[in-house]
Amino acid sequence: MMSNLFNLSAQNPLLPHVYAADPSAHVWPNDSKTLWLYTSHDEPGTNHHATMNSYHAFSTQDLVNWVDHGRVLAVENVDWAISMAWATDAAYWKNTYYLVYCMVEERTGIFRTGLATSDDPQGPFKDIGFIKNVAWGQDPAIYIENNKAYLFWGSGGKCYAGELTDDLLALKNETKVELTKQLIEVFEGPWVHKYNGMYYLSYPALSHKKWPEEMYYAVSENILGPYQFKGNYLPFFEGQSATNHGSIVQFKEHWISFYHAAWLSEGINESRNLMADFLSYNKDGTIKAIIPSKEGVSSGKKGKTIIHLEAENALLQGGKFGAIAKDFKGKGFSGTGYVTGFDKRRDYIEVLVQVAKEIKVNLQVRLSADADYTADILVGFTMMADWGGLPMKKTKGWEIIDLGKIVLKAGDNKIRFTPQQNVNLKIDYFQIALPD
């Protein structure tokens, strides 16, 4: 048993309020102060990876305090896909943020590598199609350098790479290479980073063709190889899941390895959690083996995590609008706008919150109202107050209103805000503060 590790203040598991896996870590060139994680999402209570259907985004500026930006893309938002939102990556290309992901195509039943775009790093992302000339495009990773974009992908013991076209929507066939024979025991999930002028290709491997996966790496002077195998940088550890998948990134002065495990679920392979540990190199450039730690990258500090959900993005993040609309007039709102138009008694906004286990949290909403009114706040199937509703006061412009404690159940939670009267109301965002 490892139950002493399963608490919300420990940094490993990282972000233990949610089941997530396959972390893709990035520091975008226009913001060196923020580290972003883009991940797949595991459903609580599942026993199969076929139930994975969405992606999440998280950010931090200090490796201690984190923001969960909610669901950023789901199978239901992708017209060509039918199931299996497995590993993902992200890219910043020509002033646009891209989510690069894999899902099963409805028409053919095979994995495709999809692309979705956003003007903001936190999404949500809108699908623009899948990348052509990529057969069975599972576990994609994208690497950008010198105005060129390269795609790596692979599964089932194969690994491929090649250069993408300028719009990222097709692989240049003449550049495609198979890297399988260069990567000892490779199984899936390639990732590329650069250190001291060398390209490092890391990947989950099946040591002696046996599960669980361990993390190996190889190096090359050229982005498309050939690669020289170097070794194992994340060997078997207690509490890992059958799979592993990760990324390596430099943030400020630190090199960090992100990966996943089954610490939070106490060994359930389909309910994985994020992990992070500092990574270091030997003088010859080889990577020192990582031993997963309870402290992770927090350096022993205790941090805060919040779930921040922009109201105007609710429709793309699993929520609903009840006869209301987005707007962006005026000043003082966050994100790209707010929602308004609560001109009938039962108009509402609904947002989606996903958590791993039942948890008691504090709910806030940032809004503007020009009169007193009463609101119904529905959390799942539970009303925060009786039929009388919660009394809400007129505000002086935008204000953060503390709505009090709520209980989130394991899995999907719908939070619905419904004014009981016609009121000139604007809602900017919902925010949930997780316990220490």
pLDDT tens, position by position, 313-341:
999 999 999 999 999 999 999 999 999 99
The model's confidence at residue 3, banded by pLDDT at 50, 70 and 90, is: very low
The three-point CA angle 125-129-131 to 5° equals 115
Position 5 scores a pLDDT of: 34
**CA–CA dist 171, 112 (Å, integer):** 13
- Across the range 296-305, mean pLDDT stands at 91
Q: Is 61 exposed, middle or buried (0-12, 13-18, 19+ CB in 10 A)?
A: middle
Span of 133-147, 239-253, 361-375, 380-394 with lowest mean pLDDT: 380-394
Hey, what amino acid is at 373? Y
pLDDT at 59: 98
pLDDT digit string (tens) for 107-152?
A: 999 999 999 999 999 999 999 999 999 989 999 999 999 999 999 9
Section 295-310 average pLDDT: 93
Alpha-carbon separation of residue 360 from 2, 155, 204, 351 (angstroms) = 23, 39, 36, 17
Q: Are 45 and 94 in contact (CB under 8 A)?
A: no
pLDDT band at 103 (very low <50, low <70, confident <90, very high): very high
pLDDT of residue 308: 98
pTM of the complete model: 0.96
Task: Report the C-alpha gap between 191 and 25 in whole angstroms.
Answer: 10
CA count, 13 A, side-chain hemisphere, 372 = 4
Q: Where are the alpha helices (DSSP H) in 114-166?
A: none
Measured in residues, the chain has a length of 436
Mean pLDDT of the region 145-173: 97
Closest C-alpha to 219, from 229, 211, 205: 229
pLDDT band at 10 (very low <50, low <70, confident <90, very high): low
Identify which of 47, 33, 28, 1 has the alpha carbon closest to the alpha carbon of residue 272.
47
Separation between Cα atoms, residue 324 and residue 149, nearest integer Å: 40
* Mean pLDDT (whole number) for 64-71: 97
Q: Is 313 helix (H, G, I), strand (E, B) or coil?
A: helix
Confidence of residue 209 (pLDDT cuts 50, 70, 90): very high
Q: Does position 188 have pLDDT exceeding 90, yes or no? A: yes
Instruction: Output 392-396 pairs: Cβ under 8 A, ≥24 positions apart.
Output: 392/419, 393/369, 394/369, 394/370, 395/367, 395/368, 395/369
Assess contact for 142 and 114: CB atoms under 8 A: no
Dig out the tokens for 314 from the structure. 């609710």
The mean pLDDT value for 184-204 works out to 98
pLDDT in tens, 396-420: 999 999 999 999 999 999 999 999 9
135 and 159 in contact (C-beta within 8 Å)?
Answer: no
- How much of the chain, in percent, has pLDDT values that exceed 70? 98
Model confidence at 4: pLDDT above 50: no
Res. 208: pLDDT tops 80: yes
| Cβ count near 325 (within 10 Å) | 11
Asked if residue 87 lies in contact with residue 138, where contact means CB atoms within 8 angstroms, the answer is yes
Name the pLDDT band for 6 (thresholds 50, 70, 90).
very low
Tokens 């390596």 label which residue? 248
Chain segment 257-269, per-residue pLDDT in tens = 999 999 999 999 9
Taken in order of first residue, the domains within the chain and their CATH numbers are 3-279 (2.115.10.20), 309-433 (2.60.120.260)
Structure token pair of residue 117: 């775009």
Does 2 score more than 80 pLDDT? no
